[in-house]
Structure 1
């Protein structure tokens, strides 16, 4: 069967981005995947590499070249000094033909560049602006980063760093959502619109299941349910997600336990029994049982 062509609803849409580091480029990457023609504007870099290649002006291109390369595949990238008249003139030319501007500066920095929403809207009435900021409203000038926003949302529960940049990546998705909404509204009204996306809001959105108690240790997906936990096995670990009753019944059956009632998976003895069963199995055995009995699990190497 032929693979269907990817859907590109933004084909023909021109987007300019001034956003650096991770959230903005991650959002631009997804907008490009939807078919948009994307231009990334960076400040002048700090020089050239030993091989003579220019060093990107985006800090991401300096501390993680691999990640930078993935984020910018298919993205046209140019260097402009927006503090100079020449740089601002070049940007003005690009904005005149664009439908959307994506930024990640503090509002005061945008204003200094003459790119605050009021000035921008006067100069380009049909252009929309999506601002990625750290925190909403008056807090947009505060310094912060992914880790501080996750901590504020209650998603840093010990001294270890989170396994990925959750607020940045969730913020990127919210920025794509805001961009799509802005483009739809602007096309319907003929006038550009302004939307602001806060990384702290993205972190609080991700924290909702924890706030509801679902992922607390007493919650069904926080460890209280015997069928939704990570257990050691003979040669590694197994993440079991047998939450629904039919999955829990299949798990209990292969583990040699009585068919569970509604409360049985929440009993400490059920967790102990599943732990003992998993510890006696290899990853290969667990994978085979999962396929045979339709149990949602994934085996992992030792931590």
Structure 2
């Protein structure tokens, strides 16, 4: 089955580059979505769908709307890679592919005949980007976005993370790896024209996005973690306000608007400054705060309760 969709026009630095993806769920499709906007010609080879289903991709089953967005303009084929017919369909695509993206564990790649050593021997110019959960000894370990976020310190208490940071960070790493591979293949020298393989780990995507937390920036005692009175979420009269008056000139304007003493702008970590700003914001409606942001050039964003 082929599902053809149309993507909006955009600058095309990857025009002429042919990408085949076997990656399911979120990281791989999200990466391909970005690669398409760069002009790459992308094809996806999915497992055969079960009876009554249009796709075997888990994302297409539990969130069809997200699947539809990521697959817009993408040519989607289906094949059982464990069968001779499926292998034939795969290798037919590989003969006209610049970059292959996978998201299988290393052992599964070996079973499917997709180990880098085998692919490079058969298709010397082919580049491969392999998305894994983690590298090295952990490569065969079961994991998901939530476990990689937890491992990187991004899970607080019993609350679920606001987004799938490991998956989305991994998708950006995969996009970057495709670009790196294509540049390496073009580099003059003995290896010019030869394909390369890059491994992308979701655990590293989570760890990268967690760096501000690791550095202490977003910890409770960090300036962007709540310690600075100008960089917090406060209640206002009819909602909330995400305030980001971090730099000194923003702090001065905020404190002036709040009617605080002039020295308060240099004492943004003091309890009295926190309390003064909180009391002021509690008297303001979202509309008033939006007008204040515009007239006084103060970075803030109002939210409903």
Q: 1:273 aligns with which of 276, 283, 291?
A: 276
CA distance in 2, matches of 1:262, 1:248: 5
Matched with 1:178 is 177
Give the CA deviation at 1:255: 0.6
Matched with 1:217 is 220
Partners of 1:134 and 1:144 within 8 A in 2: yes
Give the CA deviation at 1:153: 0.4
CA distance in 2, matches of 1:263, 1:138: 50
Corresponding residue SS for 2:240? strand
Normalized against structure 1, the TM-score is what?
0.95
Corresponding residue SS for 1:197? strand
CA distance in 2, matches of 1:143, 1:220: 36
CA distance in 1, matches of 2:85, 2:211: 46
Matched with 1:81 is 80
CA distance in 1, matches of 2:266, 2:228: 9
Matched with 1:200 is 203
**1:231 lines up with 2:230 in the alignment:** no
RMSD: 1.1
Q: 2:26 aligns with which of 10, 16, 22?
A: 22
Matched with 2:49 is 45
Give the CA deviation at 1:237: 0.2
Partners of 1:130 and 1:179 within 8 A in 2: yes
Q: Could you give the per-residue CA deviations for residues 190-230 of structure 1, whole angstroms, max 9, x where no partner exists? A: 10001001010011111111111110110000000000000
Matched with 1:253 is 256
Partners of 1:46 and 1:57 within 8 A in 2: yes
CA distance in 2, matches of 1:26, 1:8: 18
Normalized against structure 2, the TM-score is what?
0.94
Corresponding residue SS for 1:170? helix
Give the CA deviation at 1:157: 1.4
CA distance in 2, matches of 1:82, 1:91: 7
Partners of 1:248 and 1:260 within 8 A in 2: no
CA distance in 2, matches of 1:140, 1:262: 50
Partners of 1:40 and 1:75 within 8 A in 2: yes
Matched with 1:51 is none
- 1:63-78 mapped onto 2 (5 Å cutoff): 63-78=62-77
With over 3 angstroms needed to count, the CA separation of the structure-2 counterparts of 1:35 and 1:58, relative to structure 1, is same
Gaps of 5+ in 2: 1-8
**1:7 lines up with 2:8 in the alignment:** no
